[in-house]
Amino acid sequence: MTEHAIPVTRASRRYAEQESSQHASLTADTPDVQGESGEIGDSSELEQFRIDLERIRFSSYFARLSDVTQVVPQSGVGPVMHNRLTHSLKVSAVARVVASNLAGAAAQHEAFARGEAAHDDETGATIVALGGCDTIVAQAAAHAHDLGHPPFGHLGERVLDRVARERLGLAEGFEGNAQTFRILTSLDTLGRDFPGLNLTAAVRASVLKYPWTRGRWIGVTADDLPVAERPRGVGNDPVNGAEKFSSYVLEAGELESSLAAFPAIGEGVQTVECAVMDVADDIAYAVHDLDDFTRAGVLQHAAVSAELQTWLAKDTALAAEPLAAIQADWRRPGRSLELRWRSMSRKDGWIADRGAFREAVQRVSDELADGLLSTPYDGGIASERAVSGFTRRWIERLRSAIVVEARPHMRGGHVRLNQRAWHEVAVLKFVHSSFVLETPDLAHSQRGQARVVEELVLGFDSWLSDPVDAGRAPRRLLEWVDEATESLFELSRDRPELLQGDITGTGIRRRGRARAILDYVSSFTDQQAVAAFGLLTRAG
């Protein structure tokens, strides 16, 4: 019997569970659910999803997000700054509302189909055809989506990927989304005799923002498939593969198993609940993080206003300038925004429109640059009301701008923002990158953080290479080395086509050790990383 001889449903779990869950209701008396293993559960589909949500909430990986940088480091700023945990909770809040609206539409369609409602709902019909939209699944996805973020957020992610590929010889490198999936399916534990949290197929699939492995896109050139026709996140690197991906080869089978429950979802396309989470993440990042930037004083009215207003005033002239001229003089106000527009129009011509972009720039200029930022934040009641009011208005504006499509553009997804909101989020993200992430003010701390992450990886690699002292390395690291290596040997026997590079015994062992080191270092909080760095590099 093959693995999928028993139909995989949304509520299917990877492994049979012989023990009841601590999160299961004692009063569940709704229909049973059959899992992939053929075992019968004792709760409804809804109960299964609630169990998954609680498993994620109780995970130590979820708790550690309270000390992982969101955008701006918390040190020296105070408790008002977002971290990955508070960000995830706010993504969940936005996702709940969006998913609830879609679930309501689906319920209206189903009532019409049963003859219990006078009017159908076209959006609801699409949602049902695609496999449904459950509010709890969307919340679970939001809670879990950042579990794989290493210390220091995206900076740590980039450093781990570079060091893994350049220094450890691990072609797959490191990717936060793939690490999230690995945590849920392999690394975390329930104290049972199987790996991972054993989540339902719906919840596993809901975190697959980029439902492919890195190697899936190796060898695919722009001649084979233009960048503008590829899923968002793939990039254009036929040598190294996808830029963003949601599964390492070790979890490729889990990815396939999760998506098998959604036959109506095309290859490379997110499930409905995953798309809801992705949209909610964009909204929360674009709006909620502005709370931090405003309170911390890192967004300056003069600089932001100059960039936006100059572009609005010289829109026509900038559009006529050659790209090389804009790039050579990018520091002058208006030019960075023009470069952002050209990048958007090149990659996303299916939705990008200069007129809509101009309207978005005007709105952000009016409400953020010359509105919220026009009066410096001083910690008083009036300042706090201004920040909270701005956030509330924009969250409501964006989460009510949802489009559902049965046959979406490959870069859009079944659930997305409408054209107006899509451009507004793009402009808000531009403000983030240009006036926060790329500012010299963060450069010193970021260089120090990058050194911490790199030295941890190389330090543990050196430790495990020491024939005398390797056995005294941290117990969890040693166990993960054994587990990763064993899994890679199994993969080399069962599905060797998934493995790139050296698959000899030596190569497999080297790869297993590298993956375990990345698992270990990425599991640290910011403070744990700094402390471990001090211990590894301390002399005497």
Q: For residue 403, which amino acid is it?
A: V
pLDDT score, position 378? 84
What span, in angstroms and rounded, lies between the C-alpha atoms of 133 and 105? 10
Tell me what the mean pLDDT of segment 320-332 comes to.
93
197: left (phi over 0), alpha (psi -120 to 50) or beta: alpha
Residue 467 makes CB contacts below 8 A (sequence gap 6+) with: none
Instruction: Sort strands 402-404 and 415-417 into parallel, antiparallel or unpaired.
Output: antiparallel
Q: Which of the two residues, 295 and 490, has the higher pLDDT score?
A: 490
Q: Which of the two residues, 467 and 228, has the higher pLDDT score?
A: 467
Note whether 202 and 134 are within 8 A (CB): yes
DSSP 176-221: HHHHHHHIIIII---SSSSSS---BHHHHHHT-SS-SBGGGGTT--
Entry pTM: 0.92
What span, in angstroms and rounded, lies between the C-alpha atoms of 381 and 387? 10
Note whether 54 and 64 are within 8 A (CB): no
Block residue for tokens 């949500």: 53
Block residue for tokens 């080399």: 492
What span, in angstroms and rounded, lies between the C-alpha atoms of 513 and 461? 8
What span, in angstroms and rounded, lies between the C-alpha atoms of 276 and 260? 19
Mean pLDDT, rounded, of the chain: 90
Q: For residue 57, which amino acid is it?
A: R
pLDDT score, position 73? 53
pLDDT digits 0-9 by tens, 395-432: 999 999 999 999 999 999 999 999 999 999 999 999 98
pLDDT score, position 42? 40
Note whether 94 and 145 are within 8 A (CB): no
Above pLDDT 70, what percent of the chain? 92
Take residue 459 and report the two structure tokens written for it: 């330090």
Tell me what the mean pLDDT of segment 312-339 comes to.
94
pLDDT score, position 4? 47
Question: Which pLDDT band holds residue 71 (cuts at 50, 70, 90)?
Answer: low
Note whether 257 and 3 are within 8 A (CB): yes
What span, in angstroms and rounded, lies between the C-alpha atoms of 498 and 478? 25
Note whether 149 and 65 are within 8 A (CB): yes
Residue 59 makes CB contacts below 8 A (sequence gap 6+) with: 147, 183, 188, 197
Whose CA is closest to 502, among 494, 491, 510? 510
Angle CA 138–241–177, to nearest 5: 25
What span, in angstroms and rounded, lies between the C-alpha atoms of 81 and 70? 9
Whose CA is closest to 65, among 175, 172, 137, 142? 142
Report how far apart, in Å, the C-alpha atoms of 311 and of each of 299, 307, 349, 411 are.
Answer: 18, 6, 20, 27
What span, in angstroms and rounded, lies between the C-alpha atoms of 441 and 236? 31
Residues 161-178 as b/e (b if ≥16 CB within 10 A, e otherwise) read: bbbbbeebebbbbbbbbb
pLDDT score, position 38? 33
pLDDT score, position 20? 73
CB atoms within 10 A of CB 470: 14
Angle CA 394–246–58, to nearest 5: 70
Above pLDDT 90, what percent of the chain? 75
CB atoms within 10 A of CB 261: 22
Tell me what the mean pLDDT of segment 238-259 comes to.
96
What span, in angstroms and rounded, lies between the C-alpha atoms of 214 and 241? 5
Note whether 367 and 376 are within 8 A (CB): no
> Sign of dihedral through CA atoms 182, 254, 154, 450?
positive
CA gyration radius for the chain? Answer: 24
Take residue 159 and report the two structure tokens written for it: 């450093």
pLDDT digits 0-9 by tens, 154-191: 899 999 999 999 999 999 999 999 999 999 999 999 88
Q: Where are the alpha helices (DSSP H) in 114-134?
A: 122-129
